[in-house]
Amino acid sequence: MTWEKFIQTESSKPYFINLEKFLTEEEKTKTIYPKKEDRLNAFKYAKLEDIKVVIIGQDPYHGPNQAHGLAFSTLDTKLPPSLKNIYKELKDDLGIEISKSGNLTSWAKQGVLLLNTILTVEASKPLSHKNKGWEIFTSKVINLLNELDQAIVFILWGANARVYKNALNHPKHLVLEANHPSPLSAHRGFFGCKVFSKTNEYLKLNHVNIIDWQIK
């Protein structure tokens, strides 16, 4: 199975066709993020068999020049609060200096799947595309990943990501949980979670090249 084949199969199903109809109608009168060509960006950088880490987010940033199809990643020079906290934890965990760039493409290229469970949003309206079909698609992505017989670390930040824990039961996979990095919950179990070092320890243990978490 390849990402291309998987996406082709899913896009021909009724739920996905209805989702695309919904998005086409919305685009006539509203601003939708990310741009159409970026919505499936998460699947463009690493082959299915090269996925090492899956970080599950909720829905895209809803401001201009932010979302580009990778969970938590932004093209904006102003870093969103959740990403700032991710960088703080990264520095505390691995000593990596806080980057001025919010673009996490360098992670994606190494096999980190930055997967939002909802892949579009209306401008300035978080969760506006909830229950429109994206959750069906991303659940199928997670089920597909769970079947892979390779070392994968799943990072679940917050209650919305933890919903998927029950779908993850492959003995070769590691599931790491923590509170969401948003300012509302970061001090209640996100800071100090050390997911970055734990991830690399697990990959190393399984003879898989570790992730260079430095933002390039």
Residue 122 bridge partners (DSSP): 32, 125
Give the containing element (helix H, strand E) for 68.
none
Please report, to the nearest 10 degrees, the dihedral formed by the alpha carbons of residues 18, 43, 202, 149 taken in order: 70
Report d(CA 139, CA 173) in Å as an integer: 17
Alpha-carbon distance 112 to 106, whole Å?
9
Three-state DSSP state, 205: helix
- Selected catalytic residue, list 38, 50, 59, 212: 59
| CA–CA gap between residue 185 and residue 157 (Å, rounded) | 10
202: number of Cβ within 10 Å: 19
Measured in whole angstroms, the distance separating CA 89 from the mean position of its chain's CA atoms is 17
Task: Confirm whether 93 is a catalytic residue.
Answer: no
List active site positions: 59
